[in-house]
Amino acid sequence: MLYQVKDLAKLCKVPPDTVRHYTRIGLLKPERDPENGYFQYHISDSRRLEFIKKAKSLGFSLKEIEHILTESRKGKSPCPMVREIISQRIQENRVHLEQLMELQLRMEHALASWEKMPDGAPNGEHICHLIESAGNS
């Protein structure tokens, strides 16, 4: 049983371009159909792709996933690395979340403070008085 790009994509519910992307960067390694040069995927590729999806949903990067897959194929346990990566990712994401929440506050405050301000034509002094006034009150 061999699958074309669109078949594997449909099977795993990802866009075909994602299958192509993973193939291009070596996360999937299909053979080629000698007749037309198309990629040929096996059922094992769908298990691999499902693993990639799961790992991605846990915040692993594609490069990290490739590393996990490589170690695993070499018979080494990727588990310690996996624990380490996710611990760090949790920290990083906490920082990222804080930054985005601050951004959200800045944007909301700005929009609110602009509520009663007129639209101004630009002049030599100001480019956009709304933006330039933000956060100064």
Interaction site with DNA (CB under 7 A): 4-7, 15-18, 20-21, 24, 35-39, 56, 61-63
Q: CA-CA distances (angstroms) from residue 56 to 14, 65, 92?
A: 13, 8, 16
Task: Find out whether 58 and 86 touch, Cβ atoms under 8 Å.
Answer: yes
137, 116 Cβ separation under 8 angstroms: no
If the CB atoms of residues 56 and 76 are measured against DNA, the closer one turns out to be: 56
- Give the separation between CA 27 and CA 52, rounded to whole angstroms: 9
Applying CB under 8 A, which part among 10-18, 23-31, 35-43, 91-99 lies near a copy of itself? 91-99
**Cβ neighbours for 71, distance < 8 A, ≥ 6 positions apart:** 77, 78, 81
- To DNA, the closest distance from the beta carbon of 39 in angstroms equals 3
β partners of residue 32: 39
User: Which of DNA, a copy of itself, none does 111 bind, CB closer than 5 to 8 A by kind?
Assistant: a copy of itself
Judged by beta carbon distances under 5 to 8 A according to partner kind, the member of DNA, a copy of itself, none in contact with residue 4 is: DNA
Residue 77 CB, nearest approach to DNA (Å): 23
As a dihedral over the C-alpha atoms of residue 80, residue 73, residue 12, residue 60, rounded to 10 degrees, the angle is 30
Q: Which residues bind a copy of itself (CB under 8 A)?
A: 48, 51, 54-55, 57-60, 68-69, 72-73, 75-80, 82-83, 86-87, 89-90, 93-94, 96-97, 100-101, 103-104, 106-108, 110-111, 114, 119-122, 127-132, 134-135
